Structure 1
Amino acid sequence: MASFLFFLAGGQLCKAQDANWINWATDPVQQTADWTSFADKVERKKYLDSLSQSFQNLGYLSLFLEKEEISTDSLIVRLILGEKYGWESISPGNVPEEFFRNISPVTAEYTSAARWMREVISKAENNGFPFAQVKLDSILRKGNFLSAVFRYDSGPLILWDSLKVAGDTKTQERYVQNITGIRPGLPFSQKQLDVASEVLARSAYFVQTEPPRLDFQVKKAQPTFTLRDRNTNVLDGVIGLLPNENEPGKMLITGQLDVELYHLGGKGRDVALHWKRLNIATQSLDISAKESFLFNSPLDVSVGFSLLKQDSTFLNRHLSLDFGYHLSQTSYLRFFTRRQSSDVLDTEAYDAMTELPDVADYRWNQYGVGWSWDRRDSPFFSRRGFLLSSEFALGNKRILENTGFPPEVYENLDLSSPQYLGMMDIEKHIYIKPTWGMWLKGSGGFTQNQNLLLNDLFRLGGLKSIRGFNENYFFAKSYGYLSMEQRLFFGENSFLMVFADFGILENPYFAASIDKPVSFGAGINLDTGTGNFRFIYGVGKSNLQPLQFSYSRIHFGYLARF
């Protein structure tokens, strides 16, 4: 044991001797520092240079260093400060007014002049002058106070040239131009280039494999973005054949099919189809298509159709048309119209009704607006960032008289009335350590009408909302829920997690109209390179489900991408 401790101590000593140490103090004494180690002498010199610059920025212009090397790896430094200087007056000289209009004026502090020059240079390089220079001229000294004039040299005006796309990608240069806003003929902007890198990092279609390369020639700046396409397309499904109990001798097709094709032609063009039929009575279908940057404008257009057949109760259909506008690289505005139709399938149970039942035939034309703000660092399994999305829609709903219902259910009923709805989602990703993060999501929504029906209500529950319950388990007139996850990453997109969901729902057709579901559980998300596997075990409690492990739910699936 003694030998082991000696060996360990010796190892630590050898490690310490590889370092380069420094101890410094100012003269006169204002600040001191204990011994600090650096990996090598180069790093130690960088530290000293930075230290000297910081004191010079405070006005100690005559500062110099006295060094005493007490061994080959240890250095004692005295910073002889000397006189401290400040500004008596300083003139903007020939600096263009638009570059310093909103900058705080220079005060007596010496640092304010350096800050002022940095801000002017920043404004110049964001307005087409990346080679601009500002220096002090005509410097005069009166005691410990200085006066001077700023001299500005703009350099040549640089305009954007057409950008280039390199790497293993089908992305067209025009698409990158549209999402970054970098257009030929506009003034060069360093800030615009920096923001472009952030925008490309948030793309669901590709990843940026290298920092942007910038080439200057003949008063033009040509950026080159090196990209690699993500595996985003989806083709997955299960098809089953079962005997059709309603039609003997015939087969019933059941199963699930998911087809998602993204970024077709490298233009941000998407199409998707989702079909699900798990039994004879219930099935759903969703079809959508999106065209980005229509005619190279900031306008997107998308169309969608969805169908939900809820056993033998009702059939819902939605037809939508959306127009989206890119307000900025992070802000997106939508205007949309939807046609929502619902028909009751089996009316025998309502023969004796004297009032309108909880389901009815209706047609609802909606007109709405949506807005989203995306500041996440990645579209998939972000580590940092914030996402806000919302929408509001209103329109006139018209209830149709079903001949299978008794006529008296429609007496004294306003068959046409306004209906509106609103929804909002807030998502926050918190970075704690490279292997540890948190995900928080808050979601809420409401719908209102004087003749609100069961087939009008929101459907919640399952993997994408309140876990620990079956898919679409809840009907809600209004809802709000909070989801929290602790994530332990063991790969770029692979992690273990524990979660908890808390919700409050209102369903006017249940005896206890207010429900407060709670769920918790754990799971794993595994990135296989060619797809994504997710397994989540959860247990929940609500008015209709007790908190028992016999009611626990397993949500799992594998999404193959290519």
Structure 2
Amino acid sequence: MAQSLHLKAVGANEVDTSLLNSLDYQQTFNDFNSLEIEVNSIANSLTHLGYLESKFVHLNKENDSSFVAKYILGDRYLRARIHFDRSFNPKIIKLISNTITDDYFEVEVNSLEASLKTLNAEIANTGDPFSTLQLTNIKKEEGVLYADLKIVEQQQRTIDTIIVKGYEKFPKSYVKRYLKIKSKQVFNLNTIREKTEVLENLQFAAQIKDPEVLFTKDSTLLYIYLEKLKSNTFDGFLGFGTNTETDKLEFDGYLNLNLVNNLNYGESLRLVYKSDESEQKTFDVKTKLPYLLGSPIGMQLGLNIFKKDSSFVTTTQFAKLDYQFDSKNSMALGINTQASTNLLDNPILTINDFKSTFYNLSYNHTRPQRYDKLFPVNFLFDISGGMGKRTIENIGQSQTKFELNTFKIVNLNLRNSFYGQVSASVLNSDTYVENELFRFGGINSIRGFEENSLTANLYAVFNTEYRYRVSNSLYVNSIVDLAYYENQLLDIRSKLIGLGFGFGILTQAGLFKLNYSNGSSENQAIKLSNSKIHISLSATF
């Protein structure tokens, strides 16, 4: 069995020896090489503590297994005063020192090495990754270390080439406009890493590892590693309830198809077909084309056709130009036109043929909830307002319209959360016709009511859910919905409430949700026969 070696460190006097013992150095070793490494480590520790004049004197062997290392400590220096010239950026010095003047800063000697490393890293982030710092004209007076700080600069680096690996067809406009990474941009790896983190907000791509850089003699190549994600969704629900007039079971439902980035352009297409239990049919198609010709401007187009049994049909078209400020904020300016036709053989006063044109301004803020497949969006704020004119039989009527949709998830802990959503719309006009009013009610507004069964020129809906996450793929939730609406055409002002419960489960086919809810208006008793069950499945492919 090999014999252990022992080390003892001593100073020039008892005080110095006591200080060496306080370093808590290693004293037992399996071989002489490890012992020598510790002897050098003790010398480095003394320097870091401010004993800048300390010296290792010798290593004496007392017997076959014991060694004594002797050191001279000298004076201790606690503070370092480092002078710099005016070309040095004083802002980064604030990261390491609280004592700063126009031409010097002070730090503790034991943190000097770490402070210089921090400064060097910040200088590298400004586009000069090969720069180094040097201390010159070093002096020691009365316990203070004096030195001049010198930057040995290399040629500033800029990004010359951006290479996407893994998903080579990733839209180039998203690198430039969404990530805001461009060629000839000053190289800063930390900033680049921060910018690529916003990829988590995209539906169709994800970062698989941190970006890397390759330096050659005269160029800088940036590598971004991505993968393409399945982002198309197919969503539908089936609802059924008892008709209070016929006592028969009635069904309603819709199909919602979202196609995202199939052309590797970042584009999206949404197609909705809905058939309601009140013989209402809706066809809705919207498309979004981001970063037209590589510019920060995008375009949105849409068509909506709504048919109310045999009463009327309304066609709505819109076009918008949007500007994406960053990954979370955008603003759009657009035009919206409507044309409605009365289908009744015997016309009534509340339904009329009309045409209208609105000019709209909207703002959208979206904040994702990372790594959460059940609830991918944490906060949404979408607001729009418009001014326009409606024409009936060549008689014009000025109108204004405001719409708001916002929701927020408050995470109480890993399992419990609270969801709140507000949806509101206002149409201001001197006169109204039924076929221009807002329609709401059902699974996507106030639950417990038939789909689009309520009409209003003003309404506000407050949806709430308390959610308990049973696992990463299953949750249960309560339903408490409140609403207020006005219909000046029928002189109605009413408050509504919807109560119920539901659950959602993430399956291989997609997110399956079931909600049971019951709705009633004020001064109306809740009847179980009015309950609604809504089933939906959102599949990703």
Work out whether the TM-score is over 0.5: yes
Q: Paired residue for 2:351, among 344, 354, 359?
A: 359
Residue 495 (str. 1) matches residue 475 (str. 2): yes
| CA–CA separation in structure 1 for the residues paired with 2:365 and 2:186 | 26
Q: Paired residue for 1:518, among 488, 497, 506?
A: 497
Q: Paired residue for 2:335, among 334, 337, 352?
A: 337
- Tell me the residue number matched to 2:530: 551
Residue 374 (str. 1) matches residue 366 (str. 2): yes
CA 190–398 in structure 1, closer or farther in 2 if over 3 Å, else same: farther
**One-letter amino acid of the counterpart of residue 182, structure 2:** R
**One-letter amino acid of the counterpart of residue 541, structure 1:** S
CA 102–396 in structure 1, closer or farther in 2 if over 3 Å, else same: farther
| CA–CA separation in structure 2 for the residues paired with 1:371 and 1:320 | 16
Residue 439 (str. 1) matches residue 419 (str. 2): yes
**One-letter amino acid of the counterpart of residue 451, structure 2:** E
| CA–CA separation in structure 2 for the residues paired with 1:292 and 1:420 | 28
- Tell me the residue number matched to 2:302: 304
Q: Paired residue for 1:429, among 406, 409, 434?
A: 409
Number of positions where the alignment pairs a residue of Structure 1 with one of Structure 2: 451
- Tell me the residue number matched to 2:454: 474
CA 126–448 in structure 1, closer or farther in 2 if over 3 Å, else same: farther
CA 448–511 in structure 1, closer or farther in 2 if over 3 Å, else same: closer
Counterpart mapping for 1:94-493 below 5 A:
95-97=87-89, 106-107=98-99, 110=107, 124=123, 127-132=126-131, 149-167=148-166, 171-218=170-217, 219-234=219-234, 257-277=255-275, 281-346=279-344, 348=346, 350=348, 357-378=349-370, 381-382=374-375, 385-400=378-393, 415-492=395-472
| CA–CA separation in structure 2 for the residues paired with 1:396 and 1:102 | 58
Instruction: Tell me the alpha carbon deviations over residues 243-300 of structure 1, each in whole angstroms, 9 at most, x when there is no partner.
Output: xxxxxxxxxxx98554432212211122232223457943111122222221111121
| CA–CA separation in structure 2 for the residues paired with 1:442 and 1:435 | 23
CA deviation after TM superposition for structure 1 residue 179, in Å = 2.2
TM score, norm. by length of structure 2: 0.71
Secondary structure, counterpart of 2:261 in structure 1 = strand
TM score, norm. by length of structure 1: 0.69
CA 214–550 in structure 1, closer or farther in 2 if over 3 Å, else same: farther
Secondary structure, counterpart of 2:368 in structure 1 = coil
- Tell me the C-alpha RMSD between the 2 structures: 3.9
**One-letter amino acid of the counterpart of residue 369, structure 1:** L
Secondary structure, counterpart of 1:516 in structure 2 = strand
| CA–CA separation in structure 1 for the residues paired with 2:435 and 2:385 | 19
CA deviation after TM superposition for structure 1 residue 174, in Å = 4.9
**One-letter amino acid of the counterpart of residue 225, structure 2:** F
User: Would the aligned equivalents of 2:518 and 2:528 in 1 still touch at CA under 8 Å?
Assistant: yes
| CA–CA separation in structure 1 for the residues paired with 2:391 and 2:365 | 34
| CA–CA separation in structure 2 for the residues paired with 1:292 and 1:552 | 42
- The answer to which of 258-267 and 140-149 deviates more is 140-149
- Tell me the residue number matched to 1:535: 514
CA deviation after TM superposition for structure 1 residue 554, in Å = 1.3
User: Would the aligned equivalents of 1:376 and 1:386 in 2 still touch at CA under 8 Å?
Assistant: yes
Say which one has the larger Rg: 2
**One-letter amino acid of the counterpart of residue 460, structure 1:** F
Unaligned runs of 5+ residues in structure 1 are 1-58, 64-81, 239-253, 351-356, 402-414
CA deviation after TM superposition for structure 1 residue 545, in Å = 5.7
CA deviation after TM superposition for structure 1 residue 94, in Å = 5.1
CA deviation after TM superposition for structure 1 residue 320, in Å = 0.8
**One-letter amino acid of the counterpart of residue 200, structure 2:** A
| CA–CA separation in structure 1 for the residues paired with 2:232 and 2:112 | 51
CA deviation after TM superposition for structure 1 residue 535, in Å = 0.8
Higher relative contact order, chain-length normalized (CA < 8 Å, sep 6+): 2
CA deviation after TM superposition for structure 1 residue 553, in Å = 1.6
Instruction: Tell me the alpha carbon deviations over residues 92-131 of structure 1, each in whole angstroms, 9 at most, x when there is no partner.
Output: 4254448559989843784899999798667645542345
User: Would the aligned equivalents of 2:235 and 2:536 in 1 still touch at CA under 8 Å?
Assistant: no
Identity of aligned residues (%): 21
CA 526–99 in structure 1, closer or farther in 2 if over 3 Å, else same: same
Secondary structure, counterpart of 1:159 in structure 2 = coil
| CA–CA separation in structure 2 for the residues paired with 1:227 and 1:120 | 35
Unaligned runs of 5+ residues in structure 2 are 1-47, 53-74, 101-105, 239-251
User: Would the aligned equivalents of 2:473 and 2:507 in 1 still touch at CA under 8 Å?
Assistant: no
Instruction: Tell me the alpha carbon deviations over residues 129-173 of structure 1, each in whole angstroms, 9 at most, x when there is no partner.
Output: 345555766566665666655444454422224333334786345
CA deviation after TM superposition for structure 1 residue 463, in Å = 1.8
| CA–CA separation in structure 1 for the residues paired with 2:297 and 2:437 | 31
| CA–CA separation in structure 1 for the residues paired with 2:230 and 2:124 | 33
| CA–CA separation in structure 2 for the residues paired with 1:86 and 1:499 | 64
**One-letter amino acid of the counterpart of residue 196, structure 2:** S
CA 525–224 in structure 1, closer or farther in 2 if over 3 Å, else same: same
